[in-house]
Homo-oligomer: A and B are copies of this chain.
Amino acid sequence: MAVKERMDYIKKQLHSQSYKLTPQREATVEVLLENEEDHLSAEDVYLLVKDKAPEIGLATVYRTLELLNELEIVDKINFGDGVSRYDLRKEGANHSHHHLVCIQCGDVSEIEEDLLGEVEVKVEREWQFKIKDHRLTFHGVCSKCQRDKDSTNEEVGRQTVDQL
């Protein structure tokens, strides 16, 4: 779906709760839509949105992100560095997607497919817990870093192809 159409949908979501899509909010959403792969902090968003709306204040960015989070348009996530990051939900998704965090290069990538279907059935049944959402993050070594490590090893000399 085009950015324009998703913006319209978000506009409807705001209006349905009698919030306005002000120019500042629109510019902020635009930044999120145009950087969907990234995981921007409030400060990141602020710097990017200043190009579109130079007069915007940091407080407004925080307020807007908080609002979008309440409306479940974005998820507020935390990867353990000291800042919150704001992650647009995938089109049509009604819950947070999964993440892969590389402990070597720091790269964060996404898994859009929901892998928790069966697990959630089990949790609801065996723990009597009604699940509304989830957060799943894997920490490990991304494919790129695995390859880099292999090359390094080859340069050094003979070696086993893989160790677990």
Contact = CB atoms under 8 A, between A and B. Distances in A.
A123 B138 contact: yes
B146 A139 contact: no
B116 A132 contact: no
Contacts of A140: 129-133
A103 interface: yes
A141 B123 CA distance: 12
Interface residues of A, number: 31
Contacts of A128: 142-143, 146
Contacts of A120: 138
A152 to B, nearest CB: 15
A111 interface: yes
A120 B78 CA distance: 21
B119 A146 contact: no
28 contacts: A76-B80, A78-B78, A100-B123, A103-B132, A109-B127, A111-B123, A119-B119, A120-B138, A127-B143, A128-B142, A128-B143, A129-B140, A129-B141, A129-B143, A130-B140, A130-B141, A130-B146, A131-B139, A132-B139, A132-B141, A133-B140, A134-B136, A134-B139, A135-B135, A135-B136, A135-B139, A136-B136, A136-B137
